[in-house]
Every structure is written in C-alpha cells, then in structure tokens.
Amino acid sequence: MIKFEEFRLKTPEREILLDVTNEVHKIVRNSNIQEGICRVFVPHTTAGITINENADPSVIKDISNYLGKLIPHEGGLGYTFKHREGNSDAHIKCTLTGHSVEIIIHENRLMLGTWQGIMFAEFDGPRNRRIYVQIQGQ
C-alpha cells in the first residue's frame, strides 16, 4: 500500500532550519501503516530536508551559521555568482542538504534515533513551501 500527503509551511526568515518531525509523525500515525518506509521530499531548488539533532537548538544554529560562512550569500573567495536571481548560495546549500530523506517505519512509528529530527532547511525565504510525504508499506 502507498499513501501520499502534502503539508505546507511558511518560513519566517531567509535561512532557517525548522523541525518538521511532529508533522511527519502525525501523517505516519494516521496512515495506519505498521511496517514500511516513509519518504519526505521537498519540491524546491532553494530548500532542502535533512535529519539531524533536534534536542539541542544550538546544533541547528551551528549548521545554519556554518553553511552561511562556507557559502556566503554574496559569494566568496573572489568568486561572484552568475545566477541573476541573487540566490545561488541557496541553490548550493540545497544541493548539500538534499531534497529527500527516508525513514523506516516499525510498529507505526518513525525509527529515528533518540536525538534525531527531520529538519526542513530554508535557504531563500521567507516563502510558502510544500513538503511531500509518501508512505509505503503494510
């Protein structure tokens, strides 16, 4: 059996990581799928999805801050971005985080580690964004 759902969120800042674990968990719980796989996909080129620690908020800040230093909005190391929209940094950061994650479902629960959460990564906000969740199993 395959089930599909979409949820939306409005990001409040240009760059922010938002914990969407609870939203995905509710979709899994409501699916009644006991054993399977949950795929979370972000259909945007300047936003991504990743799994990382959600217990200590400083981890999320560290990731965001370091990506900002590694890939500055204006370019860096003598390089000027060519993309006319002025959001090349967001495209590059999105490439690093990726567009999808997969999580095992066991006994109708996401099998995330103790400190893990699903993080939506906004790199070109604020914007209205979509997140697709596909659940496959029985």
Cβ proximity of 41 and 49 under 8 Å: yes
pLDDT band at 25 (very low <50, low <70, confident <90, very high): very high
Q: What is the pLDDT of residues 47-61, one digit of tens each?
A: 999 999 999 999 999
- Is the domain covering 2-137 a CATH 2.60.120.460 domain? yes
Residue the block writes with tokens 């095992």: 104
Percent residues over pLDDT 90 in the chain = 83
Give pLDDT, residue 87: 87
Give pLDDT, residue 78: 63
> Count H helices, E strands: the chain?
3, 8
Cβ proximity of 26 and 93 under 8 Å: no
Q: What is the pLDDT of residues 73-96, one digit of tens each?
A: 776 666 677 777 778 889 999 999
The domain segmentation of the chain, as residue ranges, is 2-137
Question: What does 4-59 look like in DSSP terms, one character per residue?
Answer: EEEEEEE--SSSEEEE-HHHHHHHHHHHT--EEEEEEE---SSEEEEEEE-S-HHH
Q: What is the pLDDT of residues 105-131, one digit of tens each?
A: 999 999 999 999 999 999 999 999 999
Instruction: Output the furthest CA–CA distance in the chain (Å, rounded).
Output: 53
Give pLDDT, residue 76: 64
Rounded CA separation 63/56 (Å): 12
